[in-house]
Amino acid sequence: MEKKRLVRSSDDSVVGGVCGGLGVYLGIDSTLVRLFFVLLAFAEGIGILLYFVLWVVVPREDRVEGTTLEENVRSGAEEIAERAREMGEELQKGVKMPSHQTGLFIGLGLIIIGMYYLLDSLNIYWLSWLKWGVIWPVLVIIAGILLLVRRVRGE
């Protein structure tokens, strides 16, 4: 019987391959692992910290054989620095030449946030449930439903 080993995925990678590797290791869809990390990120940033620790400690699947923990840490730290540079460059390009939909999404987001704070400050009795502790879980549930609908439709 072949022993399973936790590695970061090079095929199923959005940022560092941690969720893809965990998905394979646990035998579940990597989207569920990503959703789990997003939920943990709302728990005082624990998900973000855990993700970066795993990124640094867990070896990439193409560099598994004969690597020490020190080599994994050095390689992971170099990858994080390179990915941060790439994301910074992408952000600069996005700011310089935004797409047509970017303005639409930012505008909608600002309207929704503004409406939330306006309704919250009006202190209307029947809107007493309108608190961030209720709103963000509802938004996470809606996002999960949208992901599932897209998955079922094959998008």
Phi, then psi, of 55 in degrees rounded to 5: -60, -40
Structural domain count, the chain: 2
Q: Pick from 30, 66, 65, 27: which is nearest to 51 by CA?
A: 30
Range of the domain at 125: 98-155
Of 97, 124, 147, the last residue of a domain is 97
Residue 99 CB neighbours (<10 A): 9
Element (H, E) at 47: helix 46-57
Q: Are residues 59 and 10 in the same domain?
A: yes
Together in a domain, 68 and 88: yes
Splitting the chain (155 residues) into consecutive groups of 10 residues, what average pLDDT does each group show? 75 83 86 86 80 84 70 80 83 70 74 80 75 74 78 72
Question: Does residue 90 share a domain with residue 19?
Answer: yes
Domain boundary among 97, 125, 147: 97
- Does residue 71 share a domain with residue 143? no
pLDDT of residue 123: 77
Residues 22 and 41 in one domain: yes
| 59 and 104 within one domain | no
Co-location of 27 and 62 in the same domain: yes
- Specify the pLDDT at position 146: 78
How high does pLDDT run on average in the chain? 78
For the stretch 91-129, pLDDT in tens is 777 667 766 676 677 777 788 888 877 877 787 777 777
73 plus 5 within the same structural domain? yes
Domain termination residue (choose one: 47, 74, 97): 97
Same domain for 105 and 88: no
- Answer for the pair 132, 117: CB distance below 8 angstroms, yes or no: no
Is 104 found in the same domain as 66? no
0.75 exceeded by pTM: no
